[in-house]
Amino acid sequence: MDSTWMILLGFVLVIVASVIETYCAFGRQARPDLKPRLLKSWFRWVLEVSWVLLLIVGSVLPLLFRWDQIGIILAGVLVISFWLILPFILTPIMRNRLLPHWDEVKAELIPKGYDEKSYWRGDWWMVEDQKKLKKKSRK
């Protein structure tokens, strides 16, 4: 394969790894009644290991075929985009897809001040320990 295709494959693998990691991160933070069904079984560990492996393989691919400054820079861009850029894009999308529909939770959330357009932005769906950790990190 040409080095360009390997670099593109690396980008695709890192994006897939980021999607899986965002899904797993939601499951780690979500209350037990809102946790995705896949993350309640042994399959959770398969997903956790797969995003790590995909990230490693995706960021090493540019180094394998372009072992020069460009390959090192591309590998750095992939890792940085995985940790800093892609979560800002994927986390709101994942919350919007995984949280229950407004009609199912509006009785619980209207007294807390949420409405149909903003309920997926709050932390009402998190486990209490995650809420406390989030508040401590803001200080």
Residue pLDDT, tens place only, 11-67: 999 999 999 999 999 999 999 989 998 888 899 999 999 999 999 999 998 888 766
Q: 71-77 — which CB contacts under 8 Å span 24+ positions?
A: 74/7, 74/10, 75/10
**The dihedral sign for the CA sequence 119, 34, 93, 52:** positive
pTM for the whole structure = 0.85
Asked whether the predicted pLDDT for residue 1 surpasses 70, the reply is no
Residue pLDDT, tens place only, 91-108: 999 999 999 999 999 899
Decide: 27 and 36 in contact? Cβ < 8 Å: yes
Decide: 11 and 56 in contact? Cβ < 8 Å: no
What tokens were used for 6?
């390997």
